[in-house]
Amino acid sequence: MLNNLISVKNLKKSFGGIKAVDVQELSFIEGELTSIIGPNGAGKTTFFDLISGFQNADSGDVFLKANNISNSQPYKIARMGMVRTFQLTKVFDRMTVMENLLFSGSNVNNDSFLRSIFKLNSQKVYEKSLKDKANEIMNNLNIGHMADSYARELSGGQKKLLELARAIINDPEILLLDEPLAGVNPKLAEDILSLIKKLSEDGITVIMVEHNIEAVMKISERIVVLAEGSLIADGSPSEIRTNNNVIEAYLGKSDE
């Protein structure tokens, strides 16, 4: 239990007759870069929804740093340091890219009504530092030139980048990324991958859902495979590559 940052027990969720998630036991270890893979509809996004509080499980528990967060509000879970992105991007359309980041990075005190009335100097200093941080992150992700555009003017891939940037500026301990590479061009995908790797090296626990199997194999320390809601494999990339269950359910025969 010592290094298990997140663990779930008997987590179940179904929609009508469809069993979306049914995981007996699964833990994620502090600092490890884990990927979750599996066919479409395997329950990966639902799993993220369950552990980040956006959906309530039918039964089972989720623990974050030994706290039971099964029924916690999403914002409380985020404040505990677990920040997620969405598969279908949710950017603040009619706010600029910069505002998207400033909002996401700003802490609760800074957002408070009273502080916003009095606008003390400390708030200005804080906002300034946020702005610098936002600029740095945007430049790393090649969206610096869009800082003053409305977020809805971004392309699909750029929105993905914005979501990633928003999650990063929030200083998470744990980062849940739902298909960060979907719709991003190959060159940029490389950059994002190295960024994720760097975040992981900086000590952030990254859990990533991704269909790009090359990328997953390249950077993951551990891979978890879901199919029809259940865990069918869990191990290092090389173990997964040769696991028969996985080949059958997801990867397909490699030589054909």
Partner 1 sequence: MITKRFSLQYIFAFSLTIFSIYLVFFLNPEGAPRIVLNLFTFAGIYGLSAIGLNVHFGWTGLLNFGHASFMGVGAYVTLLLMPHAAGREGVVITTGLPFFAALTIGIIAASLFGLLLGLPAIRLRGDYLAIVTIAAAEIFRLLVRDLESITGGVYGIINYTENFQRYRPSFIDDLSDNLDFSASQGWVCIAAWISILFIVLFLKRLNNSPWGRALRAVREDEDAVRAMGKNAVWLKLQSFMLGAGIAGLSGVLLAFNYGSLESTVFIPLLTFYVWAIMILGGVGTITGPIFGSIIFWVIISETDRLAYILFENANGQQLAGVRFLLVGVLIMFLMIFRPNGLLGKKEELLLDVK
Ligand X SMILES: Nc1ncnc2c1ncn2[C@@H]1O[C@H](COP(=O)(O)OP(=O)(O)OP(=O)(O)O)[C@@H](O)[C@H]1O
Main-chain dihedrals φ then ψ at residue 3, nearest 5 degrees: -95, 0
> Shortest distance, CB of residue 134 to partner 1, whole angstroms?
13
Instruction: Name the segment binding partner 1 (CB under 8 A); options: 84-92, 138-146, 191-199, 215-223.
Output: 84-92
Binding residue (CB under 6 A) for ligand X from 52, 70, 87, 89: 87
For the chain, give percent helix, strand, coil, nearest 5: 40, 25, 35
Judged by beta carbon, residue 12 or residue 133, the one nearer Mg ion is 12
Q: Which does 20 bind (CB under 5 to 8 A by kind): partner 1, Mg ion, ligand X, none?
A: ligand X
Q: Which does 40 bind (CB under 5 to 8 A by kind): Mg ion, partner 1, ligand X, none?
A: ligand X
- The closest alpha carbon to 224, from 57, 85, 23, 55, belongs to 23
Burial class for 51, CB neighbours closer than 10 Å (0-12, 13-18, 19+): buried
Judged by beta carbon, residue 43 or residue 105, the one nearer ligand X is 43
Do 225 and 37 touch, CB atoms closer than 8 A?
yes
Q: Which of residues 13-42 bind ligand X (CB under 6 A)?
A: 15, 18, 20, 38, 40-42
**Block residue for tokens 């505990």:** 80
Check the CA dihedral 109-113-114-115 and report its sign.
Answer: positive
The packing angle between helices 121-140 and 97-105, to 10°, is 120
Judged by beta carbon, residue 46 or residue 205, the one nearer ligand X is 46
Contacts to partner 1 by CB under 8 A = 52-54, 73-75, 78-79, 83-86, 90-95, 99-100, 102-104, 106, 108, 110-113, 115-117, 119, 123, 127, 150, 152, 166, 170
